[in-house]
Amino acid sequence: MTNFDSKSKFRQEVVSYLLLIVGSALFAIGDVMFVNPYLMAPGGTYGLSNVFSSLWGGRIALYAICMDIPLLIIGTWILGPKFGLKTIISTFLIFGFTYLLELVWGYTPVIHDGTVLFSEPASTDGLVALKEHGVWFKPDYILNTVVAGLIYGVAIGMIFRSGATSGGSDIISMILHKYTKISLGTLVMIVDGIITISTFIAFGDIRLPIYSIIIIYIEGKVIDLVVDGMKSYKTMFIVTDEMEAVRNYILNDLKRGGTCLTGTGLYQGNERKMIYVTLDRADMVKLRSTLHLIDPKAFVNIMDSSEILGMGFKALPKE
């Protein structure tokens, strides 16, 4: 390995650990300052810890670490060493930041509709009680849910970018996936769904699991943006009798490459030419519109491409 490669790898490691630290800190901020005061539980061990902490008192971080450590041990025992050093570091970083925020900040919400009340009001309709005795506030559920989802999404996206995984309740889904035929994505939704429903069981407010699910949805969209970036790519498969005209437009007008494939039609058995090309959204729209003029009878299949690696796109990873 050259000296340049060593320096480049060192910089990448420094950046990845910075992402891990900042992402873990943001996760703690989202949980303590936005999610917990509103009695929400958007999945994961910290979602369940929010419910336990609100019901029985005690620190969110302590409940979570008491679940995370056994899950990491059981997961490693059953699934093997899949989680890596960064996931373990992230687990303890989130614990540390959450515990620190609970000590320094408490559980006062950042977003609320009106002044936080420091004495018990005559009527508590529409108000939410904090864990501190006699403290109430007027909630702004919509704005708080959106902001919480954005913070969670950026935080977990940064943790993923660092090379760590979320661990926590996802380990339960991985274990169940090993012994069942249910897909991992479905199991994650089931486990997180049960955790969100626990807010309704615990507090009797149907809005809480609904808002928690909205947080999960926003979080997922933001994670995709953080991990994959803003660029959106489309892959097009084009079956056309005007191969040369379409080829020339892609090469000369769009300044893009592609691949010409030869196939056989299923119905008549005739040999057909097909173009495989990946474009950004703007060029895809141009090509789709032009195809109507070049060959109105063309058959086109357009698919979303979450990650494109190689010449003209993002560089292939070295490891």
Of 16-30, 116-130, 164-178, the one with minimum mean pLDDT is 116-130
Position 130 scores a pLDDT of 79
What is the structure's pLDDT at 7?
73
| H or E element, residue 137 | strand 136-137
For residue 26, what are the contacts with CB-CB under 8 A and spacing of at least 6?
A: 151, 154, 155, 158
**Contacts of 156 by beta carbon, 8 Å cutoff, 6+ apart:** 23, 27, 166, 219, 223
Structure confidence at residue 177 as a pLDDT band (50, 70, 90):
confident
Establish if 219 belongs to a structural domain: yes
pLDDT band at 310 (very low <50, low <70, confident <90, very high): low
Residue located via tokens 């005739």:
270
Q: What is the pLDDT of residues 54-70, one digit of tens each?
A: 999 899 999 999 999 99
Q: Are residues 290 and 187 in the same domain?
A: no
Give me the torsion for CA of 204, 207, 209, 210, rounded to 10°.
160
Classify residue 293: in a domain, yes or no: yes
**Is a pLDDT exceeding 60 seen at residue 109?**
yes
3-class DSSP assignment, residue 242: coil
Is residue 262 domain-shared with residue 291, that is, in the same domain? yes
Domain boundary residue, one of 177, 204, 228: 228
Report how many domains make up the chain: 2
pLDDT range class, residue 42, cuts 50, 70, 90: very high
**pLDDT grade, residue 139 (50/70/90)?**
very high
| Residue 293: pLDDT band with limits 50, 70, 90 | confident
C-alpha to C-alpha distance for 168 and 90, rounded to whole angstroms:
11
pLDDT at residue 17, as a whole number: 92
Range of the domain at 202: 3-228
Better-predicted residue by pLDDT, 186 or 250: 250
254 in the same domain as 287: yes
With pLDDT > 70 as the criterion, what percentage of the chain qualifies? 88
Q: Say yes or no: 133 and 265 in one domain.
A: no
In a domain, 66, yes or no: yes
* Boundary (domain end) residue, out of 191, 210, 228: 228
User: Averaging pLDDT over each range in 58-67, 154-163, 225-234, 235-244, which range is the top one?
Assistant: 58-67
In the three-class reduction of DSSP (H, G, I as helix; E, B as strand; rest coil), residue 117 is classed as: strand
Q: Looking at residue 2, what is its pLDDT?
A: 56
Q: Decide if 256 contacts 310 (C-beta within 8 A).
A: no
In this structure, the answer to whether residues 103 and 179 fall within a common structural domain is: yes
Kind and range of the H or E run holding 144:
helix 141-161
Residue 1 has pLDDT above 60, yes or no: no
122 in any annotated domain? yes
Residues 298 and 209 in one domain: no
Q: Percent of the chain at pLDDT above 90?
A: 39
- Top-confidence range, 62-71, 218-227, 269-278, 304-313: 62-71
Residue 96 resides in a domain: yes
| 317 assigned to some structural domain | no
Do 224 and 260 share a structural domain?
no
pLDDT averaged over every residue in the chain: 85
Q: Clarify whether residues 94 and 10 are in a common domain.
A: yes
How sure is the predictor about 317, in pLDDT bands with cuts at 50, 70 and 90? low
**Is 51 domain-assigned?**
yes
Do 20 and 79 fall within a single domain?
yes
